[in-house]
């Protein structure tokens, strides 16, 4: 466990943030702070260290859309539309290890077909068919590494 924490980006700059402790007689311990806790057995061993880290992760997306407008005849107009959106969202980026990163694959598809037919100058019939599909699958970024 300590190897995992010590290998994290930024761990080498970890600093003791606790005030110096005292021993049972009330004398200030020269060294890292640990309050009155002496369970580590060494006055130079800190009880806690703090570090800050900025971890990056890869997110990408692409969008494709198409549209078709067609006049079939004097009385008929056709419209078709298709769109697909594919992206990989970095859902969680762990500062300790990329083994704990989570991501979401988010594909989406949608389309529409529309036909308008006019009957003379006073009537119109419109047919519209449309559909949409969306999925968001949240998972760890690398299941192979997670299992080993």
Domain ranges in the chain are 1-54, 60-147
User: Positive or negative, the Cα torsion across 9, 12, 17, 21?
Assistant: positive
Say whether pLDDT at 11 is over 60: yes
Confidence of residue 38 (pLDDT cuts 50, 70, 90): low
Q: Nearest CA to 129 among 111, 148, 105, 108?
A: 111
DSSP 130: E
pTM: 0.57
pLDDT of residue 143: 67
pLDDT of residue 90: 87
Summarize pLDDT for 92-140 with one digit per residue, the tens: 888 877 788 888 888 999 999 999 999 988 999 999 999 999 998 888 8
Confidence of residue 48 (pLDDT cuts 50, 70, 90): confident
């Amino acid at each position: 466990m300590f190897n995992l924490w010590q290998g994290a980006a930024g761990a080498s700059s970890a600093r003791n943030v606790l005030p110096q402790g005292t021993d049972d007689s009330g004398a200030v311990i020269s060294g890292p702070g640990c309050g009155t806790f002496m369970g580590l057995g060494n006055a130079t061993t800190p009880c806690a260290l703090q570090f800050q880290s900025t971890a990056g992760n890869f997110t990408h997306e692409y969008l494709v859309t198409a549209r078709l407008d067609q006049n079939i005849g004097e009385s008929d107009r056709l419209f078709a539309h298709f769109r697909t959106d594919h992206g990989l969202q970095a859902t969680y980026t762990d500062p300790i290890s990329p083994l704990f990163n989570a991501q979401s694959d988010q594909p989406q598809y949608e389309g529409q077909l529309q036909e308008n037919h006019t009957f003379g100058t006073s009537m119109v019939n419109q047919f519209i068919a449309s559909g949409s599909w969306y999925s968001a699958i949240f998972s760890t970024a690398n299941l192979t590494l997670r299992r080993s």
